[in-house]
Structure 1
Amino acid sequence: MRSNRRDISGVTVRFEGADNLYLTESTVNKLLIQKFGSLRNTPKDAIVLDTVESVLRTHEMVNNAQVYLTVDGQLITKITQRHPIGRVAGDTQFYLDDEGRKMPLSPNHSARVPIITGKITGKSLEDAYEILKFINEDPFLSKNIIGIHIEDETDYRLRFRLDNFVVRLGDVTDLKSKFDNFKAFYAKASQDKTLAHYEVVSLEFDNQVVCTKI
């Protein structure tokens, strides 16, 4: 009878740096069993760790995987999941992840991210990704923006969580300037309690905020 020190005594799945599980421990174990059979009691020297890592990285929810063996025979798999930052709601639905790649929806968890609607093309998704990256780096914007609507590739419109007006962003040039101007407007209008008076807030014009009242 072989010693557990030379055989795999079990498989442990760990998810790194993520509170939201878009895949589960059961899913990871099932993938390993499909590719390698039951790993328990398999001789440790029969397992090529790089191959196991490569198999895990093929899963559409996995960004990275590290695999190693402990002295007592545990096969440890450390999984870093992909991170969605926007959700496309069209004829087909999917996430955009933080690297701008398409990511499928998960049956295990639904991410609370801005919804992308309208004319979905390769170019408009690239632009939406640039907008989402900027939003994610700003606490005020990431808290308040819930949607990006694409009229066309020069007309992006933003929806806010608690406000009824639409922000017309225009194209994706000068995002920092546009959002700085918007935040200054928002702070002043909040102070004056006039936010509810506006239907459209346009950032399309150079260094200006142009508002249309209801």
Structure 2
Amino acid sequence: MNWLRNIFNVCLLGGLFFLLAFTNVQQDAFPCQGVSVALENEATSFVTRGEVLQMINSLVDSIVGLPLNELPLYEIEKTIEQHALIKVAEVFVLPNGELKVTVTQKEPLVRVQNAMGKSYYLDIEGKPFPLSRNYTQRLMVANGNIIDSVDIAVVSKVAKYIHQNEFWKAQIMQLHINDNKEIELIPRVGNHIILLGGEEEMEAKFEKLMLFYQKGVQQTGWNQYSIINLKYKNQLVCVKR
């Protein structure tokens, strides 16, 4: 009886493999039913769904109705990722025959306007990417004597530090590199300039500034001083207006 059971199991497995292979062949020949584009971080509207569809159509004239096994999934993915405002794309086919495209847009940390008047964004890794014609995100602006990669690295480091603290992120609206290559910060609240100096010891400098905001400002008011100088170690020097 064992040999009959073994023959039955072999036939059952063979039939199962045949059914799966037949199903896969049928599915490969199944026509594409449509295209769905999802923008993961949709609040950052640098790229539209229409632009993504245009990129797909640049590779395939009529993707709907095309057999699933003829869809150039890899080429579609890489073409979308070549867009300067897109970080990553994922392209795959759903069980219902629909082509699914998931797009993650680049997220800006700061908007830069350099000494030559050129504007662009920096991402969290300090990498530049161009502005979008569709959408302008409200961000801290960095401007002034920004010329080379060293200046960009300084801007990125300071902007990243500010971005990671909710209070400073809300308070600091502009980062300026002056002619002496010193960092100046312009706050939203208070009619003064914060002279940071260099990018070293930022934590200690911002701690001094926070202490001044918590205690000094309560006594003098926000508009008593024109400059709050943090560049000297263990000192905070205020210049009256």
Residue aligning to 2:235: 208
Q: For each residue in 1:8-45, what CA deviation from the matched residue of structure 2 results, as whole angstroms up to 9, or x when unmatched?
A: 11111101134121110001001111123221111111
In the superposition, the TM-score normalised over structure 2's length comes to: 0.83
1:189 maps to which of 195, 216, 223: 216
Quick check: 1:143 aligned with 2:170?
Answer: yes
Cα distance between partner residues in 1 of 2:183 and 2:47: 32
Cα distance between partner residues in 1 of 2:233 and 2:181: 15
2:77 maps to which of 42, 47, 53: 53
Cα distance between partner residues in 2 of 1:4 and 1:139: 50
Residue aligning to 1:74: 98
Cα distance between partner residues in 1 of 2:83 and 2:239: 47
Letter in 1 for 2:203: K
Q: % of aligned pairs identical?
A: 27
Bigger shift: residues 171-180 or 190-199 = 190-199
Does structure 1 retain, via aligned residues, the 8 Å contact 2:29–2:69?
no
Does structure 2 retain, via aligned residues, the 8 Å contact 1:158–1:169?
yes
Bigger shift: residues 158-167 or 83-92 = 83-92
Q: What is the total number of aligned residue pairs between the two structures?
A: 213
Shift of 1:154: 4.1
Cα distance between partner residues in 2 of 1:101 and 1:188: 38
Cα distance between partner residues in 2 of 1:193 and 1:26: 54
Q: Secondary structure at the match of 2:136?
A: coil
Cα distance between partner residues in 2 of 1:41 and 1:190: 68
2:119 maps to which of 72, 93, 109: 93
Cα distance between partner residues in 2 of 1:33 and 1:153: 51
Cα distance between partner residues in 1 of 2:29 and 2:213: 63
Gaps (5+ residues) in structure 2? 1-25
Bigger shift: residues 73-82 or 4-13 = 4-13
Higher strand share: 1
Shift of 1:58: 0.5
Does structure 1 retain, via aligned residues, the 8 Å contact 2:27–2:68?
no
Cα distance between partner residues in 2 of 1:40 and 1:81: 25
1:119 maps to which of 145, 161, 166: 145
Residue aligning to 2:130: 104
2:64 maps to which of 40, 45, 49: 40
Tell me: CA distance 1:210–1:5, structure 2 relative to 1, closer, same or farther (3 Å).
Answer: farther
Gaps (5+ residues) in structure 1? none
Letter in 2 for 1:72: N
Higher helix share: 2
Shift of 1:98: 1.6
Letter in 2 for 1:69: V
Cα distance between partner residues in 1 of 2:203 and 2:27: 62
Cα distance between partner residues in 2 of 1:152 and 1:9: 60
In the superposition, the TM-score normalised over structure 1's length comes to: 0.93
Cα distance between partner residues in 1 of 2:145 and 2:229: 20
List 4+ stretches of structure 1 deviating above 6 A: 2-5
Cα distance between partner residues in 1 of 2:221 and 2:196: 20
Does structure 1 retain, via aligned residues, the 8 Å contact 2:110–2:139?
yes
Cα distance between partner residues in 2 of 1:207 and 1:25: 52
Which protein is bigger by CA-based radius of gyration?
Answer: 2
